[in-house]
Structure 1
């Protein structure tokens, strides 16, 4: 029978009203966005400024405050395509390997003879021993630093490729290890970039790998591509290196395993450093902006137990000697060690502003990029263009909705009005669901909503045409409507299941814009079934109970 229990009616109306309430914040987008940002900032810092308090008061706290996130094409922002310099990692691996190999060979210096590192191309460690007769033993020692490859493609292979010629041993990463290193480097870069972007509070960034060594970064709401590059393009590689010499010659003569770096504080001053650091930024556990003893901006940092131990041992053994704090190949400070520093904490200060100190702390907390990035493509989408896209999308949605409503009313009269109300509620429920899920709306997403507006009435059309057939069979009004809903159910379910399968394929196999289209279409499928079957049916029942018609012209 064409009946709906009271609790079901309450549930249908309740879900509809809940959807209206959840979608309402999108009508006051700027105000609600400022409210959310203020609440987040106050919770994160514990500081309530007059501006933050005013922004927080701009939207009632008891009202829903979820918003549909706007994608890059709607909000404006920055687009970057970066290529990771994976070859830099090969060099770093060989530079880190040299002290360990040198110490292991030095333990048998009496038989092997002298050990010396020879100049070689980046990513290659070339060393010379004094006694060629002991080459086999030297190679055996070096091979002890090679590990088996654990990936499926490199099973059975070693991480190091070692060649011996006369007194010379050449060491580099094997091809299988290079492939594994490339993948690890790109994945690590992805995670670090994601942490850096998330730390500054951007909304719904798109960060994904493209090809073997490229990363696509799209961040809505950020000012420009240059601002984004400043945030993620910096390696933020922090190391603490022993100082060999200080001078004004940028081309000073150095030994293998040493490097000349400029001073950040004094132009024309250069430091000769041991290339292998005592401690690196990877052993940092925290970094926060602060002030030094003179009230100037600084960054306070803290090491993990391993880093604290190495830092303490080094400072204890080198009291009275300078050591360099190096950030991205520049010596930002080179203090003299006065006492052993056992606490595992320290401070970076110098010529920096508060904004620079905060950005440096963000970069150090997120971690250093394992390798530098070259930006192959950069693009800034202004907010004006994004607003034009929103206006165009809104206009197309309104035109589509008006056209569908006009057609339904012209074709089905009062029942067309019921279907039109369902279509409008359906769009509102889509926005409500996207607000709750925190989904991102893009131009393809708007296209998905416009398509949903056109297809949402399919279920109603099937039902209404089925009711017409039952009326032609001379059935009474209530029976014809009841049979129309019942007989149309299987066709409605089949049509929506097949569409859902297509949307699922697009979501799992497609990229950003295609996924946005699939998300909105999937949500639209669910809400359209609810509005067409349940909400439309409830409105028809209310009409039947109120008018009690003896006949129906449809």
Structure 2
């Protein structure tokens, strides 16, 4: 009686060993660090970049250690977290912003043998560990300019259809469309046409003689609507990009008129996160210009691929855009028949219709895929009084990815070829899949944020766990003696398993999660209290010790399972309808319920069996 077969003991030992291994990384605190990576995911960094960065830190008097060169990045560990921002600024100024991204990071100190087993520490929420804070500003003026450019093309088409012959239609100063006419009759016809076709434009007559003008600007309600759309669309896109990065419990929210706050707790590759979050990548599809196309209706672009650029230079494309990347609904990486990476594109219904109409009319012509990257570089300006101000200047880099002959009319699905490597294809697919940015953005501020609830509150939370465990351990020893010792060992096993499971599944621990741990401690011993009370009851009824142990575990089992399942149901409901802190509490509680059932029933029973099983027992120390 009260004996487990050997395989059960081995199973428990394996599970406990498993728990210790995957909980162990939480004992190693990360180092503050600065990470350097390329603006492009295809860019590789070598020891020369590390040497340059180390020299910069030496000159600045910043203490560092453990410089590492990875496949795509360089990492420098610092002595203190206060040195991160000065180190980041110094390195970024020395290396420049055109080729390199310098970001703050927390470098893992988990031993290599644990990492090889797939063990990693728990993710901590912003309230416990802090994280990286980005403040980004949306260039709302660019969406106004883009829409005015589109309106300018539409104005030309409508005036031609109405036979209102114009001298020119141009976009002036990126804020107004100016149409010029030779006679008053033509201007009057154009004015009536534009009033009818473009109610979003505010029209004003100007000029004299044979240089009569109509000046058109967007109305203020239209500008406000466009700017709000740009911020809202960028907010949605940023959330999608952050979700693609797999960051636990990020914060992405609007701040003020045209700014967005992004907070990422415990990110391991902040340089990659910064590159993905801040990159404005888009696509345009244009037909190759015919030889007789007017210069005003075509543009020259270089190839993005270095070999193609060396061989062909570039090509002339029409200014008219068939579709843009905002029509993309899905993008996945694949490989063509020659093994080169490609991105398989799926368009929305409107985009598929526009692509079909354009290619159906141009079978046999070549269509170019234009890749557009927008970035902001700091530029110093000096006013009339000699004061220096730093402004962010937008730089657009437009290059041809591919230029292929249209064999037949295309629809919603097609592919992009001409990419350099799988990493570039993966990044392009991610950016397109997450959604196109309605307007470019630039980083206004980047900093490491400390725990939002303060170190004192965190210490109080951790102390509560320690005090709770100590109180439970003492009470169990005083009340149940040997059985209490077994319960305490099982309780320690339960905490190890809880931390291990949370680390494995990537659950985020927050301060409410610590509250869930405290509750788990009470619930774990609660099951043992039920078992031990039942054993005492059996002994008072004159049942022999071995039979009392067996009856206590067997008869209390159903009550323990019922109590824990009802609590688990409540925890699941909390997770389903709650958010943020409530979900953190629910996750910890749910995992704690499952691990406590194992440790309190199977773990404690195994320990009691080892101590009392197969022996003649006259009296139980309970």
The equivalent of 1:438 in structure 2 is: 506
The equivalent of 2:537 in structure 1 is: 469
Query: Does the 8 A contact of 1:72 with 1:78 survive in 2?
Result: no
1:191 aligns with 2:240: yes
The equivalent of 2:154 in structure 1 is: 101
User: Unmatched 5+ residue regions in structure 1?
Assistant: 38-42, 144-159, 241-275, 286-301, 314-323, 348-361
Change (3 A) 1:185 1:134: same
Query: Does the 8 A contact of 2:279 with 2:373 survive in 1?
Result: no
User: Unmatched 5+ residue regions in structure 2?
Assistant: 37-41, 51-66, 76-107, 206-213, 285-318, 332-341, 346-354, 356-364, 377-391, 405-416, 421-426
Task: Tell me, in whole angstroms, the C-alpha distance in 2 between the residues paired with 1:79 and 1:311.
Answer: 38
The equivalent of 2:563 in structure 1 is: 495
Query: Does the 8 A contact of 2:238 with 2:252 survive in 1?
Result: no
The equivalent of 2:464 in structure 1 is: 396
1:76 aligns with 2:125: no
The equivalent of 1:524 in structure 2 is: 592
Change (3 A) 1:57 1:11: closer
Task: Tell me, in whole angstroms, the C-alpha distance in 2 between the residues paired with 1:506 and 1:76.
Answer: 25
Query: Does the 8 A contact of 1:78 with 1:378 survive in 2?
Result: yes
Query: Does the 8 A contact of 1:206 with 1:216 survive in 2?
Result: no
Query: Does the 8 A contact of 2:247 with 2:264 survive in 1?
Result: yes
Q: Could you report, residue by residue, the CA deviation over 1:356-391 in whole angstroms, capped at 9, with x for unpaired residues?
A: xxxxxx999857742367999998534899877665
1:416 aligns with 2:484: yes
SS at match of 2:28: helix
Measure how far apart 1:63 and its partner are.
4.8
Query: Does the 8 A contact of 2:124 with 2:265 survive in 1?
Result: yes
Measure how far apart 1:544 and its partner are.
2.0
Task: Tell me, in whole angstroms, the C-alpha distance in 2 between the residues paired with 1:8 and 1:312.
Answer: 63
SS at match of 1:65: coil
Task: Tell me, in whole angstroms, the C-alpha distance in 2 between the residues paired with 1:218 and 1:425.
Answer: 35
The equivalent of 1:539 in structure 2 is: 607
Task: Tell me, in whole angstroms, the C-alpha distance in 2 between the residues paired with 1:441 and 1:13.
Answer: 26
Measure how far apart 1:203 and its partner are.
6.1
Measure how far apart 1:465 and its partner are.
1.5
The equivalent of 2:339 in structure 1 is: none
Change (3 A) 1:365 1:418: closer
The equivalent of 2:473 in structure 1 is: 405
Measure how far apart 1:428 and its partner are.
0.4
SS at match of 2:132: strand
Query: Does the 8 A contact of 1:448 with 1:521 survive in 2?
Result: yes
Change (3 A) 1:103 1:171: same
Measure how far apart 1:235 and its partner are.
6.9
Change (3 A) 1:333 1:416: closer
1:425 to 489, 493, 503: 493
- Aligned pair count? 447
1:514 aligns with 2:582: yes
Task: Tell me, in whole angstroms, the C-alpha distance in 1 between the residues paired with 2:273 and 2:27.
Answer: 33
Measure how far apart 1:455 and its partner are.
2.2
Measure how far apart 1:190 and its partner are.
1.9
TM-score relative to the length of structure 2: 0.54
Task: Tell me, in whole angstroms, the C-alpha distance in 2 between the residues paired with 1:66 and 1:44.
Answer: 27
Query: Does the 8 A contact of 2:162 with 2:193 survive in 1?
Result: no
Query: As a proportion of its length, which structure holds more strand?
Result: 2
Measure how far apart 1:106 and its partner are.
4.5
SS at match of 1:110: coil
Q: Could you report, residue by residue, the CA deviation over 1:488-509 in whole angstroms, capped at 9, with x for unpaired residues?
A: 2232222222222232233233
Query: Does the 8 A contact of 1:192 with 1:369 survive in 2?
Result: no
Task: Tell me, in whole angstroms, the C-alpha distance in 2 between the residues paired with 1:540 and 1:68.
Answer: 32
Task: Tell me, in whole angstroms, the C-alpha distance in 2 between the residues paired with 1:100 and 1:330.
Answer: 26
SS at match of 1:218: strand
Change (3 A) 1:462 1:47: farther
Query: Does the 8 A contact of 1:79 with 1:379 survive in 2?
Result: yes
The equivalent of 2:250 in structure 1 is: 206
SS at match of 1:370: coil
Measure how far apart 1:12 and its partner are.
2.2
Change (3 A) 1:193 1:388: same
Task: Tell me, in whole angstroms, the C-alpha distance in 2 between the residues paired with 1:553 and 1:312.
Answer: 80
2:263 to 211, 215, 218: 218
SS at match of 1:435: helix
Change (3 A) 1:176 1:137: same
Query: Does the 8 A contact of 2:159 with 2:193 survive in 1?
Result: no
1:381 aligns with 2:458: no
RMSD over aligned Cα atoms: 6.0
Task: Tell me, in whole angstroms, the C-alpha distance in 1 between the residues paired with 2:203 and 2:223.
Answer: 15
Measure how far apart 1:433 and its partner are.
0.6
Task: Tell me, in whole angstroms, the C-alpha distance in 2 between the residues paired with 1:163 and 1:515.
Answer: 50
Change (3 A) 1:177 1:484: farther
Task: Tell me, in whole angstroms, the C-alpha distance in 1 between the residues paired with 2:43 and 2:583.
Answer: 32
Measure how far apart 1:170 and its partner are.
9.3
Change (3 A) 1:177 1:216: closer
The equivalent of 2:13 in structure 1 is: 13
Measure how far apart 1:464 and its partner are.
1.4
